[in-house]
Amino acid sequence: MRCWFKNWLCALALLVASSSLAEALTPVGQELNTLLMIVKNIRDYYIEEVSPDSLMHAGVRGLFYTLDPASEYTFSQQQNPGWRDSFDTFRQIALAVNDSFLYSTTPDSLVRFGIAGMLSILDPYTNFMENQNLDNFIIHTRGSYGGLGFRIQVIYPDSAIAVWALLHQDTPAARAGVKSGDLILAIDDSTTKHLSSGDAADRMRGEPGTPVTLTLERAGLPDPFKVTIIREVVQVRSVPYYTLFSDSTGYVKLDGFQQKCSQEVREALADLHQRGMKRLIFDLRGNGGGYLQEAVSVSELFLPPQKLVVYTAGRAIADTARYYTVAKPLVPDEPMVILVDGESASASEIVSGAIQDWDRGLILGMPTVGKGSVQQTMPIGDKAELKLTIAAYFTPSGRSIDKRMRKDSTLVGSPNKEFKTLVRCRIVHGGGGIVPDVYMESQERSLWKFLLNRQLFGGRTPNNRFFHFSRQYPVSHPGLSPDFRADTQTVREFREFAVERGFEYISDYEAWMKDLEKKAAEEKQADKLANSLQTLREEIDDIEETHWQNDQDMLTWKLTYDILEKGFGQKAAEAYRVSVDPQVLRARQILVDPKAYEEYFKKPEILLPPDPKLATAAPDSDSISGE
């Protein structure tokens, strides 16, 4: 295969011809073995057949685009090149680039550019993982790691590492007295200033039984202090919270489908049963999935034996399988509602799809992600893994809920075929995630509709006024109790706190006003428009004040949760959240009314409302019996 490059990169084409395959013994050649292993796995196991030349072209595009985004090139076409020929072509190009004086890059970086290019034409769930990414994936799926037991976040403008939340109270950090809201100034006397959260996490993780010393700053204490903690195997709990409401409705929150999560759910349900549970809310919101077998085991807690939960289909015979329930269910016939949202994916969709297809319960919330595929991790050398999509999965009715996205967010296909549930014969649709029986937006989604809130949170690098305020609040209010609820006075204090820290709310009107003032100054019309601009500014100030007032409910909810979490831990905060969560309240309202519950199963088809604004409104919390 010959290559022509449209710009100065054409010089590399001359080098390709002289690159010998014997150079595979060089560092770049050794790194290419990693790429070869990935290519072989894609060839043998990827869910769809991928042509060798398209994969090679994508790899070379990734290589050159990363080195020089302005580069352009084309390939001559060869009829049906084999995998070996395509890989040899890529290898020769990589060797030539490595030898060229035009670039200065390490062999491992060079090969990873090519790997990224190759994977870019596959689905978004196929990934090459190493270092921190691999560590985080292992923790997420296996549910354990050697460390201290809390989540961290970089906080600005301090550039400090903050203890964002304790995983639970039975962790080394919690037992050593570390609290949510503490700032980590140093790890083993090495400053955390300007560290990323990933680097800080790496320093704190390690072999169980080894010590690590943290220098902490705590609100209310005049000086930083040190605490030495012995690392342990920390179990990440899949069920962070469950409770029984006064109306005998149980609530279980499942965060992820890690190993042994089904056992955690079983234990929570058994406890709720013993306490008199008559109906259940199973919360899968924000649950991005995990192990397929755990999804089957969780479904088994609610479905009779010998019921199909999911089946998979891939190119390899080993990737095609059907999964049935085996044991008797722990919750066989109690009315149940599953909560889902736009972050419920994969294993969450398997469970909610099985429950919906067997008409075992109702789904409430928003459409799920639509990740209808199965991934298998494959070792690549000693310190890396390829997470490869090997099969599609289908719910018991036969529908695929996969949205079929590529890594660039291009929608490959979304077949909207009709299927029927297996008991009530309701029409359901494939190709767009799990559509809920009861459509209702989440409180968190509503929160972000407010521009004011987005500015208060400060985005992804959170100059987060809520964090700073909530860590100080228990100190400045020493009589605080777990029954605390934020009110207008709390919001007023928070607003003053935010302004003192330099916060300025800039509404769309304010932004337009600034542009208008700038334009008037440029055209020397500022004096002429001074009175009009002043009147307009006063009107805008009034409008912005109404924004603060309209956002009062959201602000009190957020402040209450954060202050309780910082002052009394996650359980106190979660107890408050579920007591006022509109979706939880709506689910309880449906469950305690057998007639209302049954009416949803009589609907002939499950569809999104034509206008989501007309969907189910949140019930008044007063309509639900108190806790």
Structure tokens belonging to residue 141: 């799926």
Q: Give the DSSP H or E segment for 312.
A: strand 308-314
Q: What Cα–Cα distance (Å) separates residue 184 from each residue in 107, 115, 206, 236, 623?
A: 36, 36, 17, 21, 44
| DSSP-derived secondary structure letter, 620 | P
**From the candidates 357, 551, 562, 581, which is the catalytic residue?**
357
**From the candidates 253, 371, 403, 558, which is the catalytic residue?**
371
Residue linked to tokens 């076409």: 77
- Indicate the residue type of 19: S
d(CA 133, CA 146): 16
Nearest to 368, CA basis, from 308, 300, 288, 297:
288
| Annotation says 357 is catalytic | yes
Residue linked to tokens 């109306």: 247
* Phi and psi at residue 411, to the nearest 5°: -80, 110
**From the candidates 180, 262, 346, 352, which is the catalytic residue?**
346
Q: What Cα–Cα distance (Å) separates residue 585 from each residue in 299, 613, 618?
A: 24, 18, 8
Q: What Cα–Cα distance (Å) separates residue 6 from each residue in 1, 3, 242?
A: 17, 10, 62
CB within 8 Å of 53: residues ≥ 6 apart: 1, 75, 78, 81, 86
Q: What Cα–Cα distance (Å) separates residue 352 from each residue in 287, 345, 361, 367, 524?
A: 12, 10, 9, 11, 63
| Annotation says 346 is catalytic | yes
321: exposed, middle or buried (C-beta count within 10 Å: 0-12, 13-18, 19+)? Answer: middle
What amino acid positions are annotated as catalytic residues? 346, 357, 371
